[in-house]
Amino acid sequence: MYTFLGLAFVLLEIVAVIFAVRAVRSARTPQGAVAWVVFLVSAPYLAVPAYLFLGHSRVNTYIVARRESEEIVNSLQKFGKAHAAVGDDDAVGYPGFETIAEVPVVSGNNIELLIDGQQSFDAIFVALDAAQDYVLIQSYIINDDDLGRAMQARLIACAKRGVTVRLLYDAVGCVKLPKAYLDSLSEAGVQVLNAHALRGPKTRFQINFRNHRKTIVVDGTIGFTGGLNVGDEYMGLDPKFGDWRDTHCRLTGPVVSQLQLVFAEDWHWATDERLLEELNWEAGRAEENMDALVMATGPADAQETGSLYFCAAISAARERLWIASPYFVPENDIMTNLKVAAMRGVDVRIIVPEVIDHTIPWLAAFAYFDELLDAGVQIWRYDSGFMHQKVLLVDEAIASVGTTNMDNRSCRLNFEATAMFFDKRAARDLAAMLEDDFTRCVRLEKHLKDQPFKVRNGAPVARLFAPLL
């Protein structure tokens, strides 16, 4: 018995060392590599299973149509010229964002902010009811509750009247979704797929590389993205969270084609099926004629696109940088850029939730606040229910609405998508929305040493898990 246990422990140590070497070679940051090495060597019985679930940081086999197909690359170049941006008057640096996103800034777009669940799903259901050709829908979380069943009923109605419906879901986000819900959709003719059906995580326990995007495209002419998943809590109906504060957006114009391309890539990843010839790529032009692009980021990218998105936006700010993120566990580069922006006189404000959703990232955020406060960054805590929106405002130049949180998971481990608009009108609308949010916030004044015992002692410990959050 003892011999067997001793042999098992030796084998576990060998596996731990192999994983440690792999972590050193593949981790995206030195901090992450060190954390894994120490954990694996000191506590292999805990760390080896954890590494199997959490230790991978890249998807080397992710097939992205625009990178592999010369046809798509050429089409994107023509697309950019046909819908050339009307200008970069605020000098925010279009080329930088275009390089990160691998798509051009295009003109002829409009964005309608959808504030909270009622506005968002009213607009989504109107679009679904009017669909004539196809619907592409992707959500991280879908619940079998009143809202989930209302969505299910509309997708089934679309399919029954001859509209092609394709649905991608994430196995972790939809862990509570019963198979019967998906079966009902399939039986009605909806094409339903796990976003990782062929590649990537094969079980609900592999929690890295989740597809966190929330995308709806109707007939190639209307698009939706933002922070809202499909569930009653997003309508403010969960008493634990109270009023749920979130932001989605309705898109029209050529930028919808970019959102559609992201879905087509994800569908190809899940099925090996190319949708490019089956979809409408003539989205039309909106009268508002705003410049925009879709910033799709994820662990398949050669560069740190999630972090680069935030750093480029922060660097572009001259007067104002307002960010709302429910999970605030920023990496070092983002922290440095935030502090430098405040030090050069930019009005930097971060809105985070006061209500606790997930305890560890909520606590970890406090470990970053002192540095930011000392640099002049304002931290505002939203306490009128839970705040889940992911939005960013730069001066009167950039308005971003999407799925990307300011944490390591969004920047490095999940697939995300954000609609970026480079337009004064969009920025003013977003500013007005955030100004209203500030009236429901309390500004953080206390440093960590003055916080309650739980926060004062829990924050430094929670921060140790930052590479995984």
Catalytic residues: 212, 214, 219, 388, 390, 395
3-state DSSP helix/strand/coil percent for the chain, to nearest 5? 45, 20, 35
C-alpha 420/C-alpha 342 separation (Å) is: 22
DSSP letter at 410? Answer: I
How many Cα atoms occupy the beta-carbon half-sphere of 152 within 13 Å? 21
C-alpha 97/C-alpha 92 separation (Å) is: 9
**Cβ-count burial of 289 within 10 angstroms (0-12 exposed, 13-18 middle, 19+ buried)?**
middle
C-alpha 212/C-alpha 229 separation (Å) is: 9
C-alpha 349/C-alpha 104 separation (Å) is: 29
State the residue for tokens 């995308």.
215
Question: Which secondary structure element, helix H or strand E, spans residue 293, and what is its range?
Answer: strand 290-297
130 contacts 158 by C-beta, under 8 angstroms: no
- Angle 344-347-352 (CA atoms, 0-180°, nearest 5)? 125
- Angle 383-386-387 (CA atoms, 0-180°, nearest 5)? 90
State the residue for tokens 């590649």.
199
Question: Which secondary structure element, helix H or strand E, spans residue 257, and what is its range?
Answer: helix 255-271
